[in-house]
């Protein structure tokens, strides 16, 4: 079954940048809308950005700062994060949109702290 593995999270200062990567297994990656989700301790998991064939969507709080992209041939999806804020601190996950419960990875921790 399809499985996602996230990487690239780190400890960064406010205003810094980070690029997250997601490697996807399976043979039908290219037909799905993909998304980046994030979850802070005690909070609900929220959808941060999505990418379909040609369109992208973003959570209002990250518009202009985050950019989602994908490489269907390599079955990778990326999230470029700029101008990071303290409120961006969370574990970031990638998955289909809507999500596949059985495909969640461990996520990658992004910590924004001064």
DSSP string, 50-67: EE-SS-EEE-GGGTTTEE
Question: Which tens digits make up the pLDDT trace of 33-72?
Answer: 999 999 999 999 999 999 998 899 999 999 999 999 999 8
> How high is the pLDDT of residue 27?
65
1: confidence class by pLDDT, cuts 50, 70, 90: confident
The β-bridge relationship of strands 108-112 and 4-7 is unpaired
Looking up tokens 């780190």 gives: 10
Phi-psi region of 44 (alpha: psi -120 to 50; beta: other; left: phi over 0): beta
């Amino acid at each position: 079954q399809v499985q996602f593995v996230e990487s690239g999270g780190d400890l960064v200062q406010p205003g810094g940048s980070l690029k997250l990567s997601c490697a996807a297994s399976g043979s039908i990656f290219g037909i799905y809308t993909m998304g980046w989700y994030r979850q802070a301790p005690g909070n609900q998991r929220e959808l941060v950005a999505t990418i379909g064939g040609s369109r992208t969507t973003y959570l209002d709080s990250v518009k202009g700062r985050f950019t989602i992209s994908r490489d269907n041939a390599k079955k990778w999806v990326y999230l470029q994060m700029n101008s990071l804020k303290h409120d961006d601190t969370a574990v970031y996950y990638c998955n289909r949109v809507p999500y596949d419960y059985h495909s969640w990875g461990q996520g990658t921790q992004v910590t924004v702290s001064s």
